[in-house]
Amino acid sequence: MKRSKRVLELGSGYGLAGLAIAASTDAFEVVISDGNPQVIDYVQRNININASTFGDTKVKSMILHWIEELDSEMLYNFDIIIASDCTFFKEFHECLAKTVKSLLKNSEKSEAIFLSPKRGDSLDKFLVKIKDMGLDYDLIEDYDSKVWNLHQKFRNENDTSWPNYDEDHCYPFLLRITLKKPKTTSTTMP
């Protein structure tokens, strides 16, 4: 099987998701990014420590600021972009949406996969920016039965296993972002 998928993790923190993808998939390359240089130092250490688990997958870290001009060699280059809990800073919504659009490969199979809680109106405002940027999305609340069942359990006021559970800040929705599909026109013959 040919390794061909290029995966980018945005706002990675210490890079757990990117590292897991690199270790458990046949991706060609996984790039783990964050805007904080100190965090990227930790990510690179984690890459070095776990290098033996990546097989033939190329794994690298990089500093990536959503508000800065992107390097031209990165544009339209990723099959999959992942991010978790990156939509809470409303002032970066437009930059984040633009970054996703600029980095996704121009392919029907390319997509960005975000996990994000609502955090008041923050997620809704980000979805508006996604639409404004000419992207499509699906927002999925019940995407995994185990996660959903735990969410339902924690919402129950009688459950004390997670005191102060606030679904607005804790429950991650699955957001799938894709390039807008071209409209097809049907023609009928007279």
131: domain CATH number? 3.40.50.150
Q: Quick one: pLDDT band at residue 47, thresholds 50, 70, 90?
A: very high
Residue type, 159: D
CA atoms of 47 and 24, how far apart (whole Å): 14
The neighbour count for residue 66, using CB atoms within 10 Å, is 21
Q: Where are the beta strands (DSSP E) in 12-154?
A: 29-34, 58-63, 80-84, 111-116, 135-140
Q: What is the mean pLDDT of residues 146-154?
A: 95
The verdict on residue 128 lying in a domain is yes
pLDDT at residue 1 in the model: 46
Query: Measured in whole angstroms, how far is the alpha carbon of residue 179 from the centre of its chain?
Result: 14
pLDDT > 90 fraction of the chain, expressed in percent and rounded = 84
The verdict on residue 188 lying in a domain is no
What's the domain count of the chain?
1
Residue range(s) defining the domain that contains residue 80 = 6-179
| pTM: predicted TM-score of the whole model, two decimal places | 0.91
pLDDT at residue 2 in the model: 58
The verdict on residue 186 lying in a domain is no
The verdict on residue 190 lying in a domain is no
What is the biggest distance separating any 2 CA atoms in the chain, rounded to whole angstroms?
A: 68
Q: Is 50 helix (H, G, I), strand (E, B) or coil?
A: helix
Rg of the chain taking only CA atoms, in angstroms: 18
Residue 94 in contact with residue 67, Cβ under 8 Å? no
Residues 11, 103, 28, 109, CA torsion sign:
positive
